[in-house]
């Protein structure tokens, strides 16, 4: 009896000690050959003041960054994907999330609404070892950054008369997660999670590193990626009188060509301002 009591006590001690062992060490050894302090001191460079009187021309665009494209693979870097960075800043309360049905930042999300976007209903296959039967079971899965495969960007292209240049100012970004059919577990489409006001995000993004395929010593931040346009994307909408997207009037190859036409439209406008 005493032996059984000792075994049970030892087992209980192991169960209680298990979670403590799994926790990361507070004094873990440094994982680099040198002490990295750059990102702790990083700050976003303020924009130059833009006067309304100097805005000669302006066009609003909406575009999509697809993480599956080769140039965009750092967006889905497993150790620190952009989706996790955005979720962390929203959950901390540093930046407000807005209803995806309106991209004008006029309908803020509550914490309960945000949490509702951080799980999804999945169907898993359960195997019974006694009857050798497989059954489908519906479960709620916690947020996984892998669900987010795209990012929407809303931006303004502006010709500034004071500097005689065209500048691009990102106004908002929205992560897009994959929708899964509850019955079959098959991906059936995409869903905007929420809109975030990009200027409010800049200081936070400036402190988060991005994986660099070419040089580990050159530590870019997410703010650098957006401001330096280090991504591949395609246009899905420009401001128009019908307030419609490209997919509302073009499909297939026609939609691809229309997206390229809208991109070329900005280049031609700037080129035709000058005489040679």
User: Can you give the pLDDT at residue 132?
Assistant: 72
What b/e string do you get for 42-75 counting C-beta neighbours within 10 Å, with b at 16 or more?
Answer: bebeeeeeeeeeeeeeebebbbbbbbeeeebebb
Distance CA 122, CA 179 (A): 10
Distance CA 13, CA 20 (A): 11
Distance CA 234, CA 10 (A): 60
User: Can you give the pLDDT at residue 266?
Assistant: 87
User: Can you give the pLDDT at residue 64?
Assistant: 97
Q: What is the pTM of this model?
A: 0.80
Query: Two tokens at 261?
Result: 């036409």
User: Can you give the pLDDT at residue 23?
Assistant: 59
User: Can you give the pLDDT at residue 8?
Assistant: 42
User: Can you give the pLDDT at residue 124?
Assistant: 66
- Are the C-beta atoms of 98 and 105 separated by less than 8 Å? yes
For the chain, give every domain's residue range: 54-106+147-180+189-271
| Spans in the chain with pLDDT lower than 50 | 1-21
User: Can you give the pLDDT at residue 185?
Assistant: 62
State pLDDT tens for residues 227-245.
999 999 999 999 999 999 9
User: Can you give the pLDDT at residue 2?
Assistant: 45
């Amino acid at each position: 009896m005493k032996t059984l009591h000792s075994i049970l006590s030892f087992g209980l001690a192991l169960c209680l000690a298990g979670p403590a062992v799994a926790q990361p060490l507070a004094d873990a050894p440094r994982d680099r050959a040198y002490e990295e302090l750059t990102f702790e001191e990083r700050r976003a460079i303020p924009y130059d003041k833009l006067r309304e009187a100097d805005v000669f021309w302006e066009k609003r665009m909406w575009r999509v960054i697809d993480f599956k494209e080769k140039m965009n693979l750092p967006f889905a870097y497993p150790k620190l994907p952009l989706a996790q960075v955005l979720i962390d800043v929203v959950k901390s309360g540093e930046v407000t999330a807005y209803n995806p049905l309106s991209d004008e930042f006029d309908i803020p999300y509550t914490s309960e609404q945000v949490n509702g976007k951080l799980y999804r209903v999945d169907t898993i296959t359960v195997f019974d070892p006694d009857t050798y039967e497989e059954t489908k079971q519906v479960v709620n899965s916690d947020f996984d950054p892998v669900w987010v495969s795209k990012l929407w960007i809303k931006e303004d292209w502006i010709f500034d008369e004071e500097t005689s240049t065209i500048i691009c100012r990102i106004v908002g970004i929205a992560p897009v997660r994959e929708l899964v059919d509850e019955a079959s577990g098959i991906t059936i489409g995409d869903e905007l999670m929420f809109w975030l006001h990009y200027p409010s995000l800049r200081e936070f993004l400036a402190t988060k590193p991005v994986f660099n395929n070419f040089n580990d010593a050159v530590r870019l931040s997410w703010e650098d990626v957006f401001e330096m346009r280090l991504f591949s994307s395609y246009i899905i909408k420009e401001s128009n009188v019908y307030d419609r997207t490209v997919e509302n009037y073009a499909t297939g190859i026609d939609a691809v060509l229309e997206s390229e036409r809208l991109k070329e439209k900005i280049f031609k406008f700037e080129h035709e301002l000058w005489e040679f």
